[in-house]
Amino acid sequence: MSTGLVSTPSVHPSRVENGYFKLSKRHFAAKMRTPGNQNIEDSSYMEWVGRERASFWGVFWIDASSIESIRRGFIDIVKEAAAMPDITFENAKAWIENRAEKWLLIFDNADDPKIDYFKYLPSGEGSCILMTTRNDGCKIYGSESTGYEKFEKLEFPDAVELLLKTAEAKQNPHNSEAAERLVGDEVLAQHTLSIVHAGAFIRQGLCRLDEYATMFESQQARLLSQHPDQANSVYGDVYATFEVSAKAIMSESKQEYKDALELLKVLAHLHREGVSEDMFTRACNEAQDPKQGWQREPENSIRIVSSWHTDRLWRFLHPLPATKELDVFSMRKAKNVLLSFSLINVHPDTYEISMHPLVHTWARDRLEVEMQDDAWCTAAATLALSKAHLGYQEYFNNIQPHVEFNISLRPKDYFLAQKWNTLEICRVFYRFAWMLCRQRNDTGALSLLDLISSLQCPAIPPNSLNWRHILFIYACCHEHLGNSNEQLRLIKEVVSFDCNAWKPDNPSRLTAQEALGAAQIKQGNYQEAIEILEGVVKIRQDIIYPESQGLLRSKHKLAMVYTYNKQPEKAIWLLKEVVQIQERILAPTHPYRLASQHELAFAYIENEQLEQAIQLLKEVVQIKERILAPTHPERLGSQHELARAYYYSGQYQQALPIIQEVVRIQEETLKADHPYRMMAEEALDAMSQQSRDQRRQTRR
């Protein structure tokens, strides 16, 4: 497809000839892979490979659409090329930079104007970087000698060959003449993705090569009348190409074709990558009995879902008659319909769905406003239903991008201006807010909570149970953001409500009491926190089993305040018990287990058991660096404590680079007065001074 710009930051013109710039986005191996997973040999690229492949020791590809995908790409390269299973982004980038051999790195989808790509471009004498982008600002990455090259079209002969191959048409004069007409400016405009989709349509036997132009023309006229701003755009032509396939699906009466169209609407309102079957399976399971586990909640509770959500799910998914579980076979048949028209990709092993960005956008834009609203609600309801409970689930890592994307499609004012069923929308947002809070996207969670408040839902008046539930998430988010005064104010309001509404052993009341104890810790009121948390632990020990997550969490909080109150021995004794149980019942990557191990290591530091602290923190940091983003507060917190442990043990050279990286990230992500950032900066000053003193003593 068209990429708009190609920047070549370190490529000499003689090294990459014009033929290479014909290469489509995401297609860089010896064989190209189309959105429909057909392998297509591109003559211009194969010719270039034949001449140039011996010039490079390795050819690597990086998905540059996000910072996380860039980092992951470098790590994956080194994992495979060097068989190094555990490596950080920084070390992976350095490994590539330090190769003596020449390499070619393709930096693909570098479209985000908010990313400073220069930070991620590796250096390397004599090696080459090819950047593909739609962002005109990326021209600056082209060196003075190589610059950049704009392109939108395949060369005409290559376009003809590509259409014939994707359509699986015989090579004869009649087909060649028809293909030449199709790929010209009046129809497919020599646009790679348009050609691939047209070929897939023809390959299905829905029309011949010489019939496609007429069908395309009618669809193009209809579609461009709905998108006048794109009348002169290549993208308009591409949209019309996709619409031809959509109309072919609509013309079929089979159930899987109907399901495919409904699925396409939902996919357009989720993130374009990583749509798993697991999400739909979870949603279907929850839809069987959405009130399971919530029997004590009133009918208008914001915490439960209703038939408004489940009915939407059954529009595009089907339960098995006997078990009422998801009919996976029917869903896969619907996916296969979309796959056959090259509208989606499906991973052969995981069945995860991904979509090309242009197809993804078209799938939304083709819908009328009311249909867009309806599809958005269906996607949002599916995501909400896939969260069976509000506690942490590793599954949150999978759906976070979909939740964030879904939210981004509807600005706050949109909900205020439209006539929505506010309680049902608020129920969705409540679950989204909890998930974002658990994932430490606290600003995103707060925005959703503010939106719930602004909608003035009749079922959520002030001083109501629903309002209490919202205040509790508010308090948790402010705790994460370091706003300790606001955290304490909010949680006191929650506890006050609970005292009038529930008995002392009510689970929600105990959880709020525990949160109040945590808020008192942040205020430095350690004795008050101990009294509160010891009371919570005592009640929970009397009413629930020892392995209950609620009891383990309360003991964790109590141990934490013991450490702060200069009672590390009591903390260590309690945390060892908690960690021992969690290591038996929780996965090594579970955040509760990692948090308790972190807290135990912190107590070891305060008790001057530095060797034990370092050993434990190294394990925790290694896991968090594998599963959490570099900016995640919990990852940074454990790195900070590891640096402290090294520092107190006199290993200043090990401590300094760790704390430097922590401070660098927190300066980009936290406000200057955030307590975590201030503590890290103070630690960096001390460690830097100690490191300088050590070097001076060594020189003497």
Condensed to tens digits (0 to 9), the pLDDT of residues 396-442 reads 889 999 999 999 998 777 776 666 788 999 999 999 999 999 998 99
Q: Residues 28, 144: one domain? A: yes
Domain interval for residue 210: 156-250
Q: Residues 119, 264: one domain? A: no
How many domains does the structure of the chain reveal? 4
At 670, list the tokens. 């936290």
Long-range contact set of residues 448-457: C-beta below 8 Å, sequence gap at least 24: 448/407, 449/473, 449/474, 449/477, 450/412, 451/412, 451/415, 452/426, 454/412, 454/416, 455/415, 455/416, 455/420, 455/422, 455/425, 455/426, 456/422, 457/422, 457/423, 457/426
Q: Residues 236, 275: one domain? A: no
Q: Is residue 230 part of a domain?
A: yes
Condensed to tens digits (0 to 9), the pLDDT of residues 142-180 reads 766 666 776 656 788 888 888 888 888 888 888 888 888
Condensed to tens digits (0 to 9), the pLDDT of residues 626-682 reads 999 899 999 999 999 999 999 999 999 999 999 999 999 999 999 898 989 999 999
The pLDDT value recorded for residue 49 is 44
Q: What is the CATH number of the domain that holds 676?
A: 1.25.40.10
Condensed to tens digits (0 to 9), the pLDDT of residues 441-472 reads 999 999 999 999 999 899 999 999 999 999 99
**35 contact partners, CB below 8 Å, separation of at least 6:** 193, 196, 197, 342, 343, 344, 345, 356, 359
Count CA atoms within 13 Å of residue 111 on its CB side: 11
Among 342, 377, 409, give the residue marking a domain's end.
409
Average pLDDT over residues 369-391: 89
Residue 668 burial (10 A CB sphere; 0-12, 13-18, 19+): exposed
The pLDDT value recorded for residue 665 is 96
Q: How confident is the model at residue 356 (pLDDT cuts 50, 70, 90)?
A: confident
Among 250, 270, 292, give the residue marking a domain's end.
250
Q: Residues 279, 344: one domain? A: yes
Q: Residues 236, 262: one domain? A: no
Give 186 or 87, the one with higher predicted confidence. Answer: 87
The pLDDT value recorded for residue 155 is 81
Q: Residues 115, 165: one domain? A: no
Q: Residues 266, 303: one domain? A: yes
User: Which stretches of 251-368 are DSSP H helices?
Assistant: 255-267, 277-288, 307-313, 328-340, 357-365
Q: Residues 188, 239: one domain? A: yes
Condensed to tens digits (0 to 9), the pLDDT of residues 550-570 reads 999 999 999 999 999 999 999
Q: Is residue 566 part of a domain?
A: no
Among 409, 429, 462, give the residue marking a domain's end.
409
Q: Residues 164, 46: one domain? A: no
Q: Is residue 53 part of a domain?
A: yes
Instruction: Name the one residue in this structure whose structure tokens are 């191990």.
Output: 597
Q: How far apart are CA 557 and CA 491, in angstroms?
A: 16
Q: Is residue 417 part of a domain?
A: no
Q: Residues 96, 194: one domain? A: no
Highest mean pLDDT among 26-40, 245-259, 315-329, 626-640: 626-640
**Is the confidence at residue 215, as pLDDT, over 80?**
no
Q: Is residue 131 part of a domain?
A: yes
Q: Is residue 125 part of a domain?
A: yes
The pLDDT value recorded for residue 342 is 75
Q: Please name the amino acid found at residue 588.
A: P
DSSP string spanning 528-545? Answer: HHHHHHHHHHHHHHHHS-
Q: Residues 260, 405: one domain? A: yes
Q: Is residue 558 part of a domain?
A: no
Whole-number mean pLDDT of the chain? Answer: 83
Distance in Å from the first CA to the final CA of the chain: 64
Q: Residues 10, 143: one domain? A: yes
Q: Is residue 568 part of a domain?
A: no
